[in-house]
C-alpha cells in the first residue's frame, strides 16, 4: 500500500463506518471485509464496512425510517457544528453501508429470513430505502453507538481522497450472518483485534492506520458489552492525524493526539501515539507489542 504525499485539494467527504463486533470463543471479535484490489479507496486492504454519505441519506423519507429522533442522534455525536439532519444522515449512511456491504440488517425484528428477503430485494436492484419501506421495517439507529471520528490528513495520508468519517460500534444482530458483497469487497472474516493485528504484522493482511489504531483500541476489551459500555459513557474522540517531518531518511511518520509532536496534547486513543511507514506499511516505533501496551 503506497503512500501518496501530494497535497490533496479535494474537500472532506462525510463518511460513516460500522465496526461490527461479537463475542467469540477467544473474546471480542470484529468483522473485516477485504476491499477489491481495484477499489479507489484502500484497494486490497481489510477494513470495517462503510462508505461516504449519499445525498439521499439526508432525505426526510429516509430519516423517517430511523427509530430515533434526529435531535437525539445529534446529541450522541457531540458535534455542535452539525445540524440534526446531517447527524441523522450519518446514522442512515452507516446502516445503509453495513447492509449493502455485508447484508447485516440493523432493523427491529430482523431475523435471518428477514435478512435474506431484504438482501434478495437489494440484489434485484432496489435501493436500500426502498427495501426498508417495502418491508415496513424500522431501522435501529439505537443499535449503533458513535465510537470515534477520523479526519484524513491533508498531507501524508494513504489515499488521495480525504474523508471525515464517523465510526460507529455495533453488536452483531443475533441470528444474522455477515458476508461480503463480492463487488466492493472480495473476502471477509471475523478476527479478534489481537489476531487481526498479528496477521497485519505477519503481512497476511493489509490495514490502513484508522483500522490499525481502532483494532489496538478494541484489543483492550474482553467482551462486546465492555466495549459498548465504554462507547455509551464517553463522547466519540476526534482523531486528526498529523504528519511529522522525516525522522529517518526515507521514513514517514504520522502522529496522533497525545503525542509530544501533535498539536493536541490530550491522548484520544490507547496504543501507540505515532506510526512509522517502513517497508511499505505502518508500524509503531518499537514493534508489535506497542499496539497492545
Asked, for residue 40, whether it belongs to a domain, the answer is: yes
pLDDT attached to residue 144: 98
In eight-state DSSP terms, residue 237 is P
Domain of residue 89, residue span: 13-291
pLDDT attached to residue 246: 65
Report which of 80, 88, 83, 81 is spatially closest to residue 60, judged by C-alpha positions: 88
CATH number of the domain that residue 229 is part of: 3.90.79.10
* pLDDT mean over 93-114: 97
User: Cα–Cα distance between 271 and 292 in angstroms, integer?
Assistant: 6
Asked, for residue 3, whether it belongs to a domain, the answer is: no
Asked, for residue 201, whether it belongs to a domain, the answer is: yes
Asked, for residue 8, whether it belongs to a domain, the answer is: no
pLDDT attached to residue 186: 83
Asked, for residue 2, whether it belongs to a domain, the answer is: no
Report which of 191, 158, 209 is spatially closest to residue 43, judged by C-alpha positions: 158
pTM for the complete prediction? 0.92
Q: What is the mean pLDDT of the chain?
A: 90
Query: What pLDDT, in 10s, does the model give residues 224-260?
Result: 999 999 999 999 999 999 988 766 677 789 999 999 9
Question: In total, how many domains does the chain have?
Answer: 1
Most confident of 42-51, 126-135, 151-160: 126-135
User: Cα–Cα distance between 118 and 177 in angstroms, integer?
Assistant: 13
Asked, for residue 238, whether it belongs to a domain, the answer is: yes
Query: What is the greatest pairwise CA distance in the chain?
Result: 59
Asked, for residue 286, whether it belongs to a domain, the answer is: yes
Alpha helices for the chain (secondary structure H): 60-63, 70-77, 84-102, 112-123, 128-134, 193-201, 209-218, 224-233
Asked, for residue 39, whether it belongs to a domain, the answer is: yes
pLDDT attached to residue 40: 58
Report which of 249, 236, 189, 196 is spatially closest to residue 219, judged by C-alpha positions: 196
Q: Is the sign of the CA dihedral 73, 77, 79, 80 positive or negative?
A: positive
Is the pLDDT assigned to residue 35 strictly greater than 90?
Answer: no
Amino acid at each position: 500500500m503506497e503512500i501518496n504525499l501530494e497535497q490533496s485539494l479535494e474537500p472532506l467527504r462525510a463518511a460513516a463506518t460500522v465496526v461490527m463486533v461479537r463475542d467469540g470463543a477467544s473474546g471480542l471479535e470484529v468483522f473485516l471485509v477485504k476491499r477489491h484490489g481495484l477499489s479507489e479507496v484502500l484497494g486490497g486492504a481489510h477494513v470495517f464496512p462503510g462508505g461516504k454519505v449519499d445525498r439521499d441519506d439526508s432525505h426526510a423519507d429516509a430519516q423517517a425510517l430511523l427509530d430515533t429522533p434526529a435531535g437525539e442522534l445529534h446529541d450522541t455525536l457531540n458535534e455542535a457544528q452539525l445540524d440534526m439532519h446531517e447527524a441523522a444522515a450519518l446514522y442512515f449512511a452507516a446502516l445503509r453501508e453495513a447492509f449493502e456491504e455485508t447484508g447485516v440488517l440493523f432493523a427491529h425484528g430482523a431475523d435471518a429470513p428477514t435478512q435474506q428477503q431484504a438482501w434478495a430485494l437489494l440484489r434485484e436492484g432496489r435501493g436500500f430505502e426502498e427495501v426498508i419501506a417495502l418491508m415496513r421495517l424500522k431501522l435501529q439507529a439505537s443499535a449503533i453507538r458513535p465510537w470515534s471520528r477520523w479526519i484524513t490528513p491533508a498531507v501524508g495520508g494513504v489515499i488521495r481522497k480525504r474523508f471525515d468519517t464517523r465510526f460507529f460500534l455495533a453488536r452483531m444482530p443475533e441470528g444474522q450472518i455477515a458476508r461480503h458483497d463480492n463487488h466492493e469487497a472480495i473476502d471477509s472474516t471475523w478476527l479478534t483485534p489481537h489476531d487481526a493485528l498479528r496477521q497485519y504484522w505477519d503481512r497476511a493482511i493489509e490495514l490502513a492506520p484508522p483500522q490499525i489504531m481502532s483494532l489496538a483500541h478494541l484489543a483492550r476489551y474482553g467482551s462486546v458489552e465492555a466495549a459498548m459500555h465504554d462507547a455509551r459513557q464517553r463522547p466519540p474522540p476526534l482523531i486528526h492525524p498529523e504528519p511529522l517531518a522525516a525522522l529517518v531518511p526515507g521514513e514517514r511518520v504520522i502522529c496522533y493526539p497525545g503525542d509530544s509532536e501533535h498539536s493536541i496534547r490530550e491522548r484520544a486513543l490507547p496504543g501507540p501515539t505515532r506510526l512509522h511507514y517502513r517497508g511499505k506499511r505502518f508500524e509503531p516505533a518499537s514493534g508489535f507489542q506497542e499496539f497492545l501496551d
